[in-house]
Structure 1
Amino acid sequence: MLQPSSRQRGSKDLWLDAAYEMLVSDGIGAVKIMALAEKLNLSRTGFYWFFADLKELHVAMIERWENKNTGNLVKRCNKPAPNICTGLFNLMDCWLDPSLFDAGLDLAIRNWARVDGDLQIRLNDADRIRISAVADLFQRHGFSADQAHVRSLTVIYTQIGYISMEVEEARQDRLARVQHYVEIFSGIVPSRSDVDEFLERHI
């Protein structure tokens, strides 16, 4: 009996990427095996080379979201920084670089969690991890535990607001505002050299 070729099967990442695109554009209800097969122009049976069922695909999607969005946010918070402003600029890289943090995916996950109680628990855990990472950043730079916690809430809830409202703004406008967000979040005016170093990464 002939085995299906790799062209007929695709790859695990190919199926997963297609599922992400469908999730972001149409919501979790649209992520079906047949719909994915049609999107990829592959055999439906190819899916089962990589996933036992749709539930296993869902698990892989959630794990990839956790590793990318929450994982990269924590890494940016833990990146060595000489001062709190530089530390916050490192974090703000996430909001401007989709390879670090996918805002559309985060919104899709939040919408999915509204109809999936188990995912809502994992989303709540992810938000706690993010808030804790930002709070630790503030504490490492001399802020009290209470100040660090409230400031971290302000940082994370501001970004959740951007995501949930699907705010659209010109990239240059947002870049120009970041230094002011850093000042508001920290209470410290960032140095010109810190601002320039951040802008050079994104222009």
Structure 2
Amino acid sequence: MNAPRKPGPPPDIPQNAPLVGNIKVTRQDWLDAALEALLAHGVEGVKIQLIGEKLQVSRSSFYWYFKSRQDLLDALLDHWRQTNTAALVAKAQTPANTITEAVGNVFRCVINPALFSTRLDFAIRDWARRAPRVREVLHASEAERLEALRAMFARFGYPDLEAVARARILYYMQIGYDDAQLNEPMEARSRLVSSYLLGFTGQEPLAEEVDALIAYARDLESGKAPE
């Protein structure tokens, strides 16, 4: 006798489409609510029952989209890799005419919450302290980020060891800056842009590079979507 099959979404309905009846939310709704719980309460706050209550649906809704709580946690980790890590790597790989422009592209990533969520990064780091498997994922992701930054410096002719060192300085300084929670106004940070670029690269940035980066930061602070 065949084992009973676990019910799933009807095959003619896309996985992320809103459903009717007892299933009122999408997979993305569950993921978004779990992400909110992770940011607010840490991984211990990611509980199926509590999230279901917030979404006003039963636990059966959850099992349309996820096999288990662990499946949901794995989806959160994958979301982090596909947003924060992917965005930083993509910006490091963005074509640029100078190394200062290239580092400016990385700055654009880490100051834009639509591209890189600092809160999510620290939530994952906190989770990793108590979960060896998550720590492995974190270390692999950080290695990917550092390699992208190293390659960025190498493209502009920096010797191998110097490229490694500058990548680490840039990356770990940003982590430390975020962890310090200085909450500096963007205007205060903008005044240091030219000096930051010089410090990270050893090269004087072009005036137009500095102006473009400051304009990007001001657009962010004003709520305008930067180009």
**TM-score interval w.r.t. the shorter chain?**
over 0.9
- What residue is the counterpart of 2:42 in the other structure? 27
Query: Could you tell me which residue of structure 2 aligns to residue 42 of structure 1?
Result: 57
CA contact (8 A) 1:179 1:195 kept: yes
Query: Equivalent residue for 1:122?
Result: 137
Mapped to 2, the partners of 1:33 and 1:150 lie a distance apart of 43
Residues 68, 101 of structure 1: 8 Å contact kept: yes
CA distance in 1: counterparts of 2:174 and 2:144, whole angstroms: 15
Taking the aligned partners of 2:22 and 2:165, their CA distance within structure 1 comes to 52
User: What is residue 147 of structure 1 aligned with on the other side?
Assistant: 162
> C-alpha distance in 1, partners of 2:156/2:172?
21
Identity of aligned residues (%): 32
Q: What do the CA deviations read for 1:117-155 (whole angstroms, capped 9, x no partner)?
A: 011011011111111111100010111011000000001
2:79 aligned with 1:64: yes
Q: 1:192 to 1:30 in 2, by over 3 A?
A: same
Partner of 2:126: 111
TM-score, length of structure 1 as denominator length: 0.94
**1:10 partner SS:** coil
Which deviations, in whole Å up to 9, do the C-alpha atoms of 1:3-59 show, x marking residues without a partner? 972674301111101111111111000110011112222222211111011000011
Which of 175, 179, 192 is residue 160 of structure 1 equivalent to? 175
Find out whether 1:186 has 2:201 as its counterpart.
yes
Structure 2: runs of 5+ lacking an equivalent? 1-9, 11-18, 219-227
Tell me how far 1:188 sits from its aligned partner.
1.1
Take 1:32 and 1:70, find their aligned partners in 2: how far apart are those partners? 25
Aligned residue pairs total: 201
Are 1:82 and 2:97 matched, yes or no?
yes
Shift of 1:170: 1.3
CA distance in 2, matches of 1:89, 1:18: 33
Q: List per-residue Cα deviations over 1:68-90 (Å, max 9, x = no partner).
A: 11111110011000000000000
Q: Using the alignment, how far apart are the partners of 1:175 and 1:35 within structure 2?
A: 42
CA RMSD of aligned residues (A): 1.6
TM-score under structure 2 normalisation?
A: 0.84
What amino acid sits opposite 2:69 in the alignment?
L
Cα deviation for residue 107 of structure 1 reads 0.2
The match for 1:52 among 47, 67, 70 is 67
Contact 2:22 2:61 in 1 (8 A): no
Worse-matched range after superposition: 41-50 or 79-88: 41-50
Higher Rg: 2
Q: Which protein, 1 or 2, shows the higher relative CO under an 8 Å CA cutoff with sep ≥ 6? A: 1
Query: What stretches of structure 1 move > 3 A for 4+ residues in a row?
Result: 6-9
Instruction: Point out the structure with the larger helix share.
Output: 1
